[in-house]
Structure 1
Amino acid sequence: MTAPRSRCVLVERPGVFRLTESAPAEPGPGEVRIAVHAAGLCASDREVFAGTRAEGYVRYPVVPGHEWSGTVEATGPGVDPALTGRRCTGEGFRACRCCDRCRAGQTSLCTAGYEETGFTRPGAFADHLLLPAHLLHLLPDDADLTAAALLEPAAVTAAAVLAAAPLAGERVAVVGAGTLGLLAVQLLAAHSPAELVAVDPRERPLRQARAMGASRACDPAAATGLRGRFDLVVETAGAPDSAHDACLLARRGGRVVLTGMPAPGARGIDPVHLSVSQLTVTSVFGAPPAAWAYAVRAFATGLLRPAPLVTHRIPLTSFGEAIELVGSGDPDVGKVLLEP
Structure 2
Amino acid sequence: MWAYQLSGPCRLERVDVERPLAEDLAEDEVLLRTLAGGVCGSDLPKFRGGKGAVITPDGGWQAGRPGFPMHEVVGEVVASRHRAVAVGSRAVGWAVRSDALAEFVTTDGNQLQAVPPGLRPEQAVLIQSLACVWYAVEGLPVAGARVAVVGLGAMGLLLARILKERGAAEVIGVDPVDRTPVAHLFGLDRVVVAPSGPWSASLADRDRPAIVVEAVGHQVGTLQHAIDACAVGGQIVCFGIPDDEYYPLDMERLMRKNLTLCGRVTRRRREMLACGAQYLLDSPELFENLVTHEVPVADVQRAFTLALDPAARLKVVVRMG
Label 1:264 to 1:306 Cα distance change in 2 as closer, same or farther (>3 A): same
1:162-241 counterparts in 2 under 5 A? 162=138, 165-203=140-178, 205-220=179-194, 221=198, 224-226=201-203, 228=205, 229-238=208-217, 240-241=220-221
Deviation at 1:278, TM superposition (A): 0.1
Deviation at 1:59, TM superposition (A): 7.8
Cα shift readout 1:238-279 (whole Å, capped 9, x = no counterpart)? 255321111222211011101113555998432111111100
1:324 aligns with 2:300: no
1:141 alignment partner in structure 2? 117
Q: Name which of 203, 210, 223 aligns with 1:243.
A: 223
1:301 alignment partner in structure 2? 282
The farther-off stretch of 230-239 and 59-68 is 59-68
SS at the partner of 1:230?
Answer: coil
Size of the aligned set, in residue pairs, is: 302
Which segments of 5 or more consecutive residues in structure 2 lack a partner in the other structure? 55-61
Which amino acid counterpart does residue 183 of structure 2 have in structure 1?
A
Task: Provide the rounded CA distance (Å) in 2 between the counterparts of 1:175 and 1:167.
Answer: 16
Contact 2:200 2:225 in 1 (8 A): no
The farther-off stretch of 279-288 and 166-175 is 279-288
Deviation at 1:231, TM superposition (A): 1.7
- How high is the TM-score relative to the length of structure 2? 0.81
1:49 alignment partner in structure 2? 47
Contact 1:187 1:303 in 2 (8 A): no
Which amino acid counterpart does residue 178 of structure 1 have in structure 2?
G
- Supply the RMSD in Å over aligned alpha carbons: 3.1
Q: Name which of 88, 105, 109 aligns with 2:91.
A: 88
Cα shift readout 1:159-191 (whole Å, capped 9, x = no counterpart)? 3212x5133211111111002101101211221
Q: Percent identity?
A: 25
2:79 alignment partner in structure 1? 75
Deviation at 1:213, TM superposition (A): 1.0
SS at the partner of 1:207?
Answer: helix
Deviation at 1:198, TM superposition (A): 0.9
Label 1:150 to 1:198 Cα distance change in 2 as closer, same or farther (>3 A): same
SS at the partner of 2:155?
Answer: helix
Task: Provide the rounded CA distance (Å) in 2 between the counterparts of 1:264 and 1:249.
Answer: 22
Which amino acid counterpart does residue 237 of structure 1 have in structure 2?
V
1:128 alignment partner in structure 2? 104
Deviation at 1:297, TM superposition (A): 3.6
